[in-house]
A = this chain, B = another copy of it.
Amino acid sequence: MLSHNGPGGWARRHFLAALAAGPAGAAAAQPLAAHLPEVMARPGGADLPYGLPAPQESYVERTLSTTAGFPVWRTPLQHQRGIITPSGLHFAVHHNGVPDIDPARHVLRLHGLVNKPLRFDLEGLMRYPMVSRVHFLECAGNSAANALSPTALDQTLGDIAGEVSCSEWTGVPLAYLLNEAGLKDGAQWVVAEGADGGSHSRSLPLKALLQDGMVALFQNGERLRPSQGYPMRLFMPGWEGNVNVKWLHRLEVTDAPAYTKDESGLYTQVLADGRIERFAFHMEVKSVITHPSGQQRLPEPHGFYEIAGLAWSGRGRIVRVDVSVDGGRSWAAAQLHGPVLDRAFTRFTLPWQWSGRRADLMSRATDEHGRTQPLRSEWKRRYALHSFNHYNAVQAWRVQPDGRVENVYA
A residues sitting closer than 8 Å to B (CB atoms) are 7-8, 15-16, 19-20, 24-27, 29, 35, 37, 39-54, 56-58, 60-64, 71, 73, 79-90, 92, 94, 96-103, 105-107, 109, 116-121, 123-124, 127-132, 134, 168-170, 176, 179-180, 195-197, 199, 217-218, 220-228, 230-231, 249-250, 299, 304-306, 308, 337, 339, 341, 347, 349, 351
Contact = CB atoms under 8 A, between A and B. Distances in A.
B218 A81 contact: yes
Central interface residue in A26, A49, A71, A222, by most chain B CB within 10 Å: A222
Contacts of A339: 134, 339, 341
A119 B16 contact: no
A25 B119 contact: yes
Nearest to A231: B54
Contacts of A127: 15, 299, 304-306
A304 B126 CA distance: 12
A36 to B, nearest CB: 8
Nearest to A24: B124
Given A24-B119, A26-B116, A223-B54, A49 B37 contact: no
Contacts of A117: 26-27, 29
Q: Please give the count of copies of this chain that the complex contains.
A: 2
16 contacts: A7-B128, A24-B121, A35-B109, A39-B99, A44-B94, A44-B98, A44-B100, A46-B71, A50-B58, A51-B62, A54-B230, A57-B230, A85-B221, A86-B221, A86-B222, A129-B306
B37 A195 contact: yes
A117 B88 CA distance: 39
Nearest to A63: B49
Nearest to A340: B339
Contacts of A41: 197
B51 A222 contact: no
B176 A132 contact: no
Given A7-B129, A99-B44, A176-B7, A49 B24 contact: no
Contacts of A82: 132, 168-170, 218, 220-221
B226 A89 contact: no
A326 to B, nearest CB: 21
B98 A71 contact: no
Contacts of A24: 119-121, 124
Contacts of A226: 47, 51, 54
Given A56-B102, A131-B337, A221 B83 contact: yes
A39 B170 contact: no
A280 B96 CA distance: 56
Contacts of A228: 51
B27 A197 contact: no
Contacts of A341: 339
B43 A197 contact: yes
A320 B101 CA distance: 40
Contacts of A27: 109, 117, 119
Contacts of A130: 81, 306, 308, 349
A103 B117 CA distance: 57
A100 B37 contact: no
A347 B132 contact: yes
Contacts of A7: 128-129, 176
A94 to B, nearest CB: 6
A195 to B, nearest CB: 5
A73 B44 contact: no
Contacts of A81: 130, 132, 170, 217-218, 221
Nearest to A53: B225
A336 to B, nearest CB: 11
Contact of A26 (B61, B101, B118, B351): B118
